[in-house]
Amino acid sequence: MDKIVVLDFGSQYSHLICRRIRESSVYAELVPFDISYEELQEHSPKGIIFSGGPSSVYNSKAPMPEDKIFEMNLPLLGICYGHQLIVNRFGGKVKRANREYGSSLLTVDEDRDLLNGVGRSVRAWMSHGDEAEEIPPGFQVIGHTKSARAAAIASEDRAVYGIQFHPEVVHTEQGTKILKNFVLKVCGARQDWTMEGFMESSVEKISGMEGNVLCGVSGGVDSTVAALLIHKAVGDRLKCVFVNNGLLRLDEENEIEEMFRDNFKVNFSSIDASKGFLGRLKGITDPEEKRKVVGEEFVRVFTDFAEKSDPPFKWLAQGTLYPDIIESGVSKGPAAVIKSHHNVGGLPERMNLEILEPLKELYKDEVRQIAKILNVPERLFMRHPFPGPGLSVRIIGEVTPTKLWICKVASRIVEEELLEAGLYGKVWQAYAAVGDDKAVGVVGDKRKYGSVVMIRVVDSIDAMTADWTRLPHELLEKISNRITNEIEEVTWVTYAVSSKPPATIEPQ
Ligand code: XMP
């Protein structure tokens, strides 16, 4: 398979470069900027991209790739900091400039190779403080903006290019086209990155592995796809285990069991551990404490199951995705942050098993494509994200059977109504939460003191920030009526209109 390697110099957009290239069916991988020459050679790339980054090339501590990488004579594309790096490296000059941030008009001077078919003038996203003052010998300017004379440069015979703007962000019109020109026209990469191809090669790879595989499934798309892929490769040597913690959405445990056992016919065990989880949560009101208890209990139940198995397992399968790998620090740039939500804290370390992560090269939408190919019901893979600690973070205060029931039924109503209104797929998350607040209502002629349910519906791109969704009033009214009519214990329904920040998506 042909591959493009992206050296990460720390831009928050670095992984988007890979994302965009893969949209053109060419495989791209992000690696640290200081990858060794030998390691890079092992990738056998068809071309190399230098990402953006916060540094200045003229700074003595500026991150630089290993020298020998330039001797590989591979096509090179530098983006933003990467552009300046190329200017510097090939003998041009970079200087401090007025900071430019936002959209600029790029005028295309040479409609060949990199900028071919892009149009005469397009919007391009800039975010830089330095610029090329002198371009290196043998290079020519192929695009400029009002403030950056050398916004795009090329040395076509060496296949080396630099662009000051970010083609990977959606604000750059034709950005994908520019990247596509680089990978297809300049590098000549084949478009052989397809999910069918990926499935075939991973099944082949996994079938060569010996030993039994244990896979914890949650009903989420990642663990489901990981399990099904492994099942294709090793059949009954795979055992899927589902731990019912009693904190799931209404009926979820039955749906999951039916799907794995009856639909997909995989070797499946469901452990009803709800009593243990709910018992341990009794009396606990602190949100972090609840998370900790749920995490610990999961590890206990899961390891207990694994240790008792005969014959023993050799592998522990996980639905880790590529962004998880990037987040936990494969890339050395400042964009690397450690995931804050650890649901199964320390599970792999505690179990003496080897880790199998068949999806670790994939982005979420690629996993969804595989889910489609494998006939995973659409309802499942289009379902909203659900927190690992389940409804314990949507029940404010102590988790009691009544609050749990209210939360389940009210959330089901919210989901059903959004689906019916055609809005479910358009929002990030939608659910009902409940706490200990009570409010007076009237039923017939009698006053009743009942629970207050809070509806939370948010729009978001990555859950880092979120905005509350402006749902039509009629829809809110319908949801409210259904909740108070169908759940006897509820008298009031409120709608959360706080965005993140300062609020978070989950109330606990
Ligand atoms: P917050 O509430 O932090 O949530 O704005 C951001 C996203 O993460 C989900 N979430 C969690 N997911 N374990 C998880 O797996 C957790 O402990 C957890 N807490 C929040 C939340 O649903 C939202 O999508």
Mutational test site, ligand 1, from 288, 341, 504, 508, max ligand atoms within 8 Å of CB = 341
How far out from the chain centre does Cα 446 lie?
Answer: 50
Per-residue pLDDT, averaged over 86-105, amounts to 91
> 481 or 128: which carries more pLDDT confidence?
481
Give the integer Cα–Cα distance in Å for 194 and 188. 17
User: In this model, does residue 402 exceed pLDDT 70?
Assistant: yes
Band of residue 463 on the pLDDT scale cut at 50, 70, 90 = confident
* Residue 498 CB burial class (10 angstroms; 0-12, 13-18, ≥19): middle
387 lines ligand 1 (CB under 6 A): yes
380 lines ligand 1 (CB under 6 A): no
pLDDT tens-digit series, residues 75-84: 999 999 999 9
429 lines ligand 1 (CB under 6 A): yes
Rounded distance from Cα 505 to ligand 1 centre (Å): 7
Rounded distance from Cα 10 to ligand 1 centre (Å): 25
pLDDT tens-digit series, residues 115-168: 999 999 999 999 888 999 999 999 999 999 998 999 999 999 999 999 999 999
Res 98: pLDDT: 79
Q: Which of 142-146, 198-202, 348-352 has the lowest mean pLDDT?
A: 348-352
Q: Which of 241-245, 309-313, 451-455 has the lowest mean pLDDT?
A: 309-313
Per-residue pLDDT, averaged over 2-15, amounts to 93
Give the integer Cα–Cα distance in Å for 161 and 186. 10
Res 340: pLDDT: 35
154 lines ligand 1 (CB under 6 A): no
Rounded distance from Cα 494 to ligand 1 centre (Å): 21
Per-residue pLDDT, averaged over 281-287, amounts to 97
Res 347: pLDDT: 66
Nearest CA to ligand 1 atom 22: 387
Band of residue 351 on the pLDDT scale cut at 50, 70, 90 = confident
Res 336: pLDDT: 33
- Which of the residues are catalytic? 80, 166, 168
User: In this model, does residue 331 exceed pLDDT 50?
Assistant: no
User: In this model, does residue 423 exceed pLDDT 50?
Assistant: yes
Res 330: pLDDT: 46
- What is the identity of the amino acid at 168? E
- The half-sphere exposure of 259 on its side-chain side, counting CA atoms within 13 A, is 26
Determine contact, residues 67/85, Cβ cutoff 8 Å: no
Rounded distance from Cα 339 to ligand 1 centre (Å): 11
Q: Which residues contact 111 (CB under 8 A, 6 or more apart)?
A: 117, 118
Residue 12 in tokens:
């928050």
> 361 or 285: which carries more pLDDT confidence?
285
Res 337: pLDDT: 33
- What is the identity of the amino acid at 59? N
Res 327: pLDDT: 62
The whole-chain average pLDDT of the chain stands at: 93
Secondary structure, 3-state, 15-51: HHHHHHHHHCCCEEEEEECCCCHHHHHHHCCCEEEEC
Res 348: pLDDT: 63
> 361 or 243: which carries more pLDDT confidence?
243
389 lines ligand 1 (CB under 6 A): yes
